[in-house]
Amino acid sequence: MPIEVALLESRALRVEQMERVDVLDKVKSLVMLPDGIHLRTEDVARYFEVSTTAVRRLTDRHQNELVENGMQVLRGADLRSFHSDMMSLWAGVVPESYPQAATRLRVHTRRTVLNVAMLLRDSDIARCVRTYLLDAEQDLRAGYASLEHRVTRVESCLAGVGTALQELGPVLNRMSHRLDSLDRRLDVTHQVVGAMSVRLGHMSEDIVRIDGRMAQLARNLKDLSRRNSKQR
């Protein structure tokens, strides 16, 4: 079954699209009442370029669904209050296209209009809205598919990294043991160098003492030589 027909026939599919009211103005400018929230049946019919009767018949057939999405039928005090609010927003200049209903007034919201677009068969505007919704849904699914593919590739790379890390573990352990052995050898070398430094210090002291004794011996020999010279 074509996807557009499924959208026309399946309420569950329509529910999935009910937040996409932005597509309405992308297809055609939607003229609201002065409160920026509501439209009359006449305004909805004008948007879809169909008769008011066609919209009324459709809303009668799907009244429960449309009421869930914001459609209201105003009567009595609610209707009088609504008219009063609209006239105050128009600053006293009420256009001729706004007749005040005597007993009741059916008003719609953007969600209601989108709901009608997914139900109304004989309207080119409604078909454009449905096409826009389905194209956007297809693009979204393609984006999800692309994202899923990229995530799968990342997961595959991570799996390879995990295997490489497992293989690298024993190598790292051997390197760690060798580094520990090298540390121990360096400690021993430091100890040997320290001992040699101490011994060299002692040798330096011995050399200084020997130098002193040699100097004293040289002086004694000179003195002895001078005495021998005088005796001759």
Higher-scoring residue by pLDDT: 4, 58: 58
pLDDT tens-digit series, residues 94-120: 555 555 656 889 999 999 999 999 999
Give the integer Cα–Cα distance in Å for 71 and 84. 19
Which CA distances in Å does 107 have to 18, 37, 123? 18, 10, 20
pLDDT at 8: 87
pLDDT at 18: 92
pLDDT tens-digit series, residues 195-210: 787 787 778 787 888 8
Higher-scoring residue by pLDDT: 154, 126: 126
For the chain, what is the mean pLDDT? 82
